[in-house]
Chains A and B, each alone.
Chain A
Amino acid sequence: MFGELPKLTIVVVFLILTLLYAIKFILRKEIPFASYINYLWIYFLIFSVAEIFSFKIAVWILAILCFWSLREYFSLIDIRLQDRWGIIGAYLSIPFMIYYIQIDWYGMFIVSIPVYAFLMIPFLIAIGGKESKGIIFSTGAIDFGMFLFVYCLGHIGYLALYSRWMAIMLITNVVICDIITYFIQKKTIPMFKSVILKYFISSPFTVLMTVLLSNWTTIPIGHSISLGLMIPVLIIIGNHTINYIKFDLGINEKNMCPGRGAVIDNMKSIFYSAPVVFHYIRYFLK
C-alpha cells in the first residue's frame, strides 16, 4: 500500500482538478484561474496516463500541447505566403521529437530540433517562393517559435521519462511561483523591487517543496535545495522574456482568449525552467 502512495497522489490530484473542471462546466461559473487550471489539468493528465497506462501514450498528449502553443504563436506572428512550407516543417518537427522521447533516444532528441530542424526550415522557406525580401525575419520568427514552444516544452516529457516526480516537482514549483507572481503583479510596484520581492517570497516555498518531494523524486537533499533556489530565478527570467514577446505580438491582458495569447500566457513559466532543470538533473544525477 505504501509503495503505491506516489502513484495514488498523482491520480488524486488529477481527480481533484477534473472535479474543478466539472464544477466549472456544470455550474457555468467563472472560477478564478480557470484557464490556468486547464493547462494544469493537461499536465496531470499526462502524468496519470503515464502512471496508469503507459508513458508512450502520455507523451503524445504532450505533443498536442506543443501543437497548441505553436499554433497560437504562428497565428499571431506576421507570416508571408512564402513561409508556409517552413511553418509546415515546424509543425512536423513535433511528432519526430516526441518519437525520440518515446524511444528514449537522448542523442537524437537533443540534436533533432537545434540542428536538423533549424537548418531545414530556412531551406523550406527558401524553396517556398521567389521573394527573397524578409526571409531572415521569417527564419528567425519560425525557428524561434519552434525552439521555444516545441523543444523547450519537450524537455518536460524527457524529464517525466526519467521520473514522473521530477517533472511534477517542476510543475508544482512553477505553480507556486505563478500564484505568487499573480498576487504581486496586482499591486503597482516598480519592476526592480517586484522582481526581488518575487524571488524572496517564492524561493522558501520552492525549496520547501523540493525538499519535501525529495523522497519521491530521488534527488539528494543538497541538489534539491539548489534546484529550489534556482527554479524561481529561471521562472522570473522566462516570465520577463515572454512578457516582452507577448507585448510585441499585441497580446492584451484584458481580452485574452485561446488563440490570442491564453496558451502562451499560461505556460510562459515553463519555457525557460524546463530545459535548464532537465540538464541540471542530467548532468549531476544521471
Chain B
Amino acid sequence: MRKLFQIFSLRIFIHLFILRPFVKLFFGINIKGRKNISQLDRYIIVANHNSHLDILLLFCFLPVKGILITHPVAAREYFSKSKLSFYLINFLFSPIWIERGKPQERRDPLKDIKDRLDDGHNVIIFPEGTRGNPGEMKHFKSGIGRLAALYRDIPIVPVFLFGPERVLPKGSNIPLPLWNEVIIAPPHFYRGAHTEITHSLEKIINELEQSVKAFRHKRETVIKKSSITIAVLGIDGSGKSTLSRNLAQNLSVDCVSCLVSDALMFYENNQPKDMQPLITEKIREMIGGYAKKAKSLKFYKIPKLTELLLRDHLLDEIKRWYSPDFIILDGAPLLNLTAWTCLYKEQYFNKNTCSKAIRILTAKGDEFQKSDPIFKQFPELSSLKYLKLNHLKLPDVVIFLDVETAMACKRIDKRGEKKQVHETEEKLGKLREAYKLVCNVILEDWNIPTISIDGNKTVEDVVVETENYLKKFLKENADGK
C-alpha cells in the first residue's frame, strides 16, 4: 500500500507531467543510451557540471521508481539565497546539501552521502565541484573515487551533458530555449584504488565530450591548405589518363583530390565526390571537343591553345573554391604547351629556346628584350605576353611516362575511336623527344622533382612505382617544412 502511495505521489506527478514535458518542449532534450539506466535499481550518477539546469536535465531520464530515491549533491550556499527557490528545490529534488567554505565546522563531507547510500537510495554527483567556465571541464575531485571504492557493488553511470552551458551559463539569469544532449554511458563496476577510479571516470566523460563536440558550429574560418600539384606527362596512348585517375583515387584517403583531365573530377576517400560545377570547366570541355575533331594541325592549334590556357585558369579556380589537397593534372598546361611547339616549329626547338619559353610563359622572363630572337621564332609568345596571358603555373612534381611509340600507337588503335590529327607514329616520336627535353629543363632550371617512369609495364606496376615515388616526395616535403 505504501509502495502504491509512493508511486502516485505529488512529486512524481510533477516530474512526469510538468517538468519533463516542459524540458522537452521548451528547451528540447535528446537522450542517448537510456537503456543503460532503465534496468538499474541502484546507481551513482556521475556528470559534468556546467549550469544550474544540470539537475533538471538529469531528472529527465531517471526511471520512474528512482525519482523519489535519487538525491543530487548540491552546495547549500548557492540555493539558500531565496527562500522560495530553496523550498522548491528541496521539495522537487531533495538534494544532499553540502556546506562549503567553513573549514572549522567541517565534518566528513561524504558522511551524508554514505548515509543515503546505506539506506538504499541513489545519488547524483558532480565531481568537478563547481560550475566551471562554459564548455570547459575541470579535473575531478577525489570524493567520487573514495565513494566508488567503498561501494563496489553499486554501478557507476557516467553521464555527459551537452548544451546546458549555453542554455544557462554562469553569469546569466535567463535560460534560453536551446537544445540539450544527454549521453549516458554503460554502467561501470570498479576495483582498485580511488585515484584510479577518479581518473578512469574523468577519461570516460572526456571521451563522451569529444564524441559530441565535433558537431558544434565554429565561427573561425578554416585556414586553407596549399594544394600539391602533380603533373603527369606523356604522349597519347602512354596510359597517363589511367595513371592519373588511379593516382587521384588512391591519394584521396582522408582528403580531397582533384583530377583535371578531359573532365573535372573530385575524389574523397577513394570515392568520386559531387561538387558544384564551374563555368570555366564547361567552356573548356566544349573547346576541348572542337580540338579533338580538328582535321589538320593548323585547325588544332587555336582550340588546343585556348583549352590549355583555360585549363591553367581552372587550376586557379579549383584552388580558390575547393582547395583540395592534391591536384592531379593529366598533362600540365605549361609543359604541354612548350612540348607541343616542337610539332609546329621543329627547326627552332632546342633546349635553349625551351628554357627561355618557360621563363616567359611563367612571367619570369622580363629580362628578354623585344628584339630577342625567340619572339621572332615564336610570335605566339609575344602575343601571349602582350595579352598578359603569360602567368601559367609550374607543377610541384612532374611524372613522365616514357613509352615506345609503337606501343603507344597499338594502344590508340585498341581504343577504336577516331584518331586525332597528331596520333601518328612519326609525330608521337617527335613529341616524346620534346617531352623528355622539357622534363630535363624543368629539373635543371627550376629544380622541380621529376621522374621518368617506364610506361611499357602493366598499369598496376606503374601505379605502384609512382606512388612509392610520391610518398618519398611527400615525406621530404613535410620534413622540409
Output the nearest chain B residue to A64 by Cβ-Cβ distance.
B25
* A23 is an interface residue with CB less than 8 A from chain B: no
Query: A67-B177, A84-B172, A88-B174 are contacts. A76–B216 as well, Cβ < 8 Å?
Result: yes
A91 touches B274 (CB 8 A): no
Output the nearest chain B residue to A190 by Cβ-Cβ distance.
B274
B217 touches A188 (CB 8 A): no
Query: A81-B169, A192-B277 are contacts. A75–B219 as well, Cβ < 8 Å?
Result: no
B169 touches A71 (CB 8 A): no
Tell me which of A75, A192, A249 contacts B179 (CB under 8 A).
Answer: A75
Would you give the shortest CB distance from A170 to chain B, in whole angstroms? 27
* B457 is an interface residue with CB less than 8 A from chain A: no
* A77 is an interface residue with CB less than 8 A from chain B: yes
The segment from A104-112, A147-155, A255-263, A277-285 that touches chain B is A255-263
Query: A78-B218, A250-B216 are contacts. A188–B178 as well, Cβ < 8 Å?
Result: no
Count residues of chain A with CB under 8 A from any CB of chain B.
29
Would you give the shortest CB distance from A72 to chain B, in whole angstroms? 7
Taking CB atoms, residues of chain B closer than 8 Å to A67 are 177
* A137 is an interface residue with CB less than 8 A from chain B: yes
Would you give the shortest CB distance from A174 to chain B, in whole angstroms? 24
Expressed in whole angstroms, the Cα–Cα distance for A188 and B283 within the complex equals 23
Expressed in whole angstroms, the Cα–Cα distance for A134 and B172 within the complex equals 19
Which size class do B's interface residues fall under? 20 to 34
B176 touches A87 (CB 8 A): yes
* B101 is an interface residue with CB less than 8 A from chain A: no
Taking CB atoms, residues of chain A closer than 8 Å to B181 are 259
Contact with B along A250-272 (1 / 0, CB 8 A): 10100001111000000000000
Expressed in whole angstroms, the Cα–Cα distance for A68 and B24 within the complex equals 11
B217 touches A250 (CB 8 A): yes
Taking CB atoms, residues of chain A closer than 8 Å to B171 are 81
* A248 is an interface residue with CB less than 8 A from chain B: yes
B217 touches A77 (CB 8 A): yes
Contact with B along A134-148 (1 / 0, CB 8 A): 100100000000000
* B215 is an interface residue with CB less than 8 A from chain A: yes
Expressed in whole angstroms, the Cα–Cα distance for A281 and B276 within the complex equals 33
Taking CB atoms, residues of chain A closer than 8 Å to B237 are none
Which residues 147-203 in B have Cβ within 8 Å of A in the complex? Answer: 163, 166, 169, 171-172, 174, 176-181
Contact with B along A65-109 (1 / 0, CB 8 A): 001100110111111010010011001000000000000000000
B176 touches A78 (CB 8 A): no
B166 touches A190 (CB 8 A): no
Contact with A along B255-299 (1 / 0, CB 8 A): 000000000000000001011110000000000000000000000
Expressed in whole angstroms, the Cα–Cα distance for A51 and B29 within the complex equals 33
* B134 is an interface residue with CB less than 8 A from chain A: yes
* B95 is an interface residue with CB less than 8 A from chain A: no
Query: A78-B219, A191-B276 are contacts. A91–B177 as well, Cβ < 8 Å?
Result: yes
Query: A188-B274, A190-B274, A191-B277 are contacts. A78–B178 as well, Cβ < 8 Å?
Result: no
Would you give the shortest CB distance from A148 to chain B, in whole angstroms? 16
* B80 is an interface residue with CB less than 8 A from chain A: no
Interface of A is mostly: helix
Output the nearest chain B residue to A76 by Cβ-Cβ distance.
B217
Expressed in whole angstroms, the Cα–Cα distance for A28 and B452 within the complex equals 64
Taking CB atoms, residues of chain A closer than 8 Å to B90 are none
Expressed in whole angstroms, the Cα–Cα distance for A259 and B196 within the complex equals 36
* B303 is an interface residue with CB less than 8 A from chain A: no
Would you give the shortest CB distance from B163 to chain A, in whole angstroms? 7
Taking CB atoms, residues of chain A closer than 8 Å to B218 are 78
Output the nearest chain A residue to B276 by Cβ-Cβ distance.
A191
A71 touches B216 (CB 8 A): no
Query: A81-B172, A188-B274 are contacts. A75–B134 as well, Cβ < 8 Å?
Result: no
Would you give the shortest CB distance from A201 to chain B, in whole angstroms? 19
Tell me which of B172, B174, B179, B272 contacts A71 (CB under 8 A).
Answer: B179
A259 touches B179 (CB 8 A): yes
* B362 is an interface residue with CB less than 8 A from chain A: no
* B30 is an interface residue with CB less than 8 A from chain A: yes
Expressed in whole angstroms, the Cα–Cα distance for A179 and B11 within the complex equals 46
Taking CB atoms, residues of chain B closer than 8 Å to A137 are 219
* B429 is an interface residue with CB less than 8 A from chain A: no
Query: A192-B277, A258-B28, A258-B30 are contacts. A75–B174 as well, Cβ < 8 Å?
Result: no
Contact with A along B207-240 (1 / 0, CB 8 A): 0000000111111000000000000000000000
Output the nearest chain A residue to B282 by Cβ-Cβ distance.
A192
Would you give the shortest CB distance from B244 to chain A, in whole angstroms? 20
Output the nearest chain A residue to B275 by Cβ-Cβ distance.
A191
Expressed in whole angstroms, the Cα–Cα distance for A74 and B166 within the complex equals 10
B216 touches A78 (CB 8 A): yes
Would you give the shortest CB distance from B193 to chain A, in whole angstroms? 38
Query: A81-B169, A84-B174, A192-B277 are contacts. A71–B217 as well, Cβ < 8 Å?
Result: no
**A residues lining the B interface (CB < 8 Å):** 67-68, 71-72, 74-79, 81, 84, 87-88, 91, 134, 137, 188, 190-192, 248-250, 252, 257-260
Leading 4 A-B pairs by shortest Cβ distance: A259-B179, A75-B179, A78-B219, A75-B178
Q: Give me 6 A-to-B residue pairs in the complex whose CB atoms sit less than 8 angstroms apart, sorted by A's number.
A: A71-B177, A81-B172, A91-B176, A248-B217, A250-B214, A260-B30
Given contacts A188-B272, A191-B275, A259-B30, 17 further A-B pairs with CB under 8 A are: A71-B177, A72-B28, A75-B28, A75-B166, A75-B179, A76-B217, A81-B172, A91-B176, A188-B274, A191-B276, A250-B216, A257-B30, A258-B28, A258-B179, A259-B179, A260-B30, A260-B179
